[in-house]
Structure formats: C-alpha cells, structure tokens
Chains A and B, each alone.
Chain A
C-alpha cells in the first residue's frame, strides 16, 4: 500500500510564475490536508479538503493561493505569481473517512520543496 505521494519533490520557480503542487492520498483516504513549513519554523496548517469540498481554509493566504481535491485525481495546491516569501516546504497529509466522530491519524507525504528565485 503506497503512502502519500507528492510531486514534484523539488520545484524551482521565478518570481511571478505559477507553482502547482500535487498530492495523491493513500488508497481509501478521502481527506487531504496541506501544511507549509517556512525556514526555521514548524508546520503551519493551510487547508483541509474532502473530495470536491473545502472544509477548512483558515490557514490559506487570502490571495494567490488555492487548493482543490477533485473527484478524480490528486489534490492540487496552486500558487499564482509566486514571490520569494513563498519558498518553503509544502507537506500534504491524508486520512481515511471519519467513523463515529473519532479522530483519524494523518499520514504525511515527503513534501515538495519550493524555491522561488
């Protein structure tokens, strides 16, 4: 059973370009979370999605950032018109459907390291 997959692992963009980060959750998982780790900081929550729905986007910057998790295919985190401050490691996690209101463990992918020149 493959784990959470993220690609690319490393992404270099120039200021003003777009960055697309992909996350394929573990098989059977319908919940996806995106986190960002800036240099010298811990992971910060960005967005929580289920298939075709955004559940919590309280950590998403108001502009240039968007996320989706379509019915088919991976979840995509999209950053438009990147700036140097977007350079960070972006981690995706997935969890199975909730059952009985219990908390389900989040399994993390290897991350995508975005460098903005």
Chain B
C-alpha cells in the first residue's frame, strides 16, 4: 500500500535558523508530490508541488523542496525561518492522475521569536 512518512512530529526552531523537514513515500511508479501548510486556525494551503522536470521546486514564502527519486524523498527546506512560519506541515503524494492524496502524519513547526 502507498504510504507517506514524515520523520519529525514536532520541530522547534529559533528565528533565522534553517529548516529541513523530511518526507519519504513508498510507491514504485510515477508520483506527484506536494507540501501543504496549515497555519493556526486556517485552511490547508498548497506550499509547493512537483509533477516532473527540475527536481528542485520553489514554493511560496521562500520554501523549496527537492525530489530525490532514488531515495523516494521530497524534503522541504527553508534557509531562514520566521516566527510566522509556525504551522503544521503536511507532505502528500498522488499516485494516480486526478485521484486521492496520501498524506504524511504532519510536522508541527514552532518558531521562537
């Protein structure tokens, strides 16, 4: 069965620290990959996505992610976090065109001012 694993459940950083959130998936075929963010009290919003092409994708608010096919990974990075990045981050995979998303369990990021 397809699955997505996020390595960190809760990450605490100080402002200006660098961020890397791990995401691994299990599926042998072609996938579309996503990172969603949920700010406190708000909807899930798409942060960035990978369909094909350049494995390094850039999203909103300075976030980027790198798809490493050999490692089945799609880690999220940001060079310098801000207090406003405090949120829950979800990695997701779509393994069939137009179908369901498989989500990881989420990583709660707390950024200390």
Contact = CB atoms under 8 A, between A and B. Distances in A.
Contacts of A104: 98
Interface stretch (B11-19, B43-51, B78-86): B43-51
B99 interface: yes
14 contacts: A31-B98, A40-B105, A42-B4, A42-B90, A42-B103, A43-B92, A43-B101, A44-B103, A45-B102, A45-B103, A98-B97, A103-B32, A108-B36, A109-B43
A110 interface: yes
**How extensive is the interface on chain A, given as a class?**
20 to 34
B61 interface: no
B94 A103 contact: yes
Decide if the interface of chain B is mainly helix, strand, loop or mixed.
strand
A33 interface: yes
A3 B43 contact: yes
Contacts of A58: 100
Given A108-B43, A108-B44, A43 B98 contact: no
A3 B98 CA distance: 19
B95 to A, nearest CB: 11
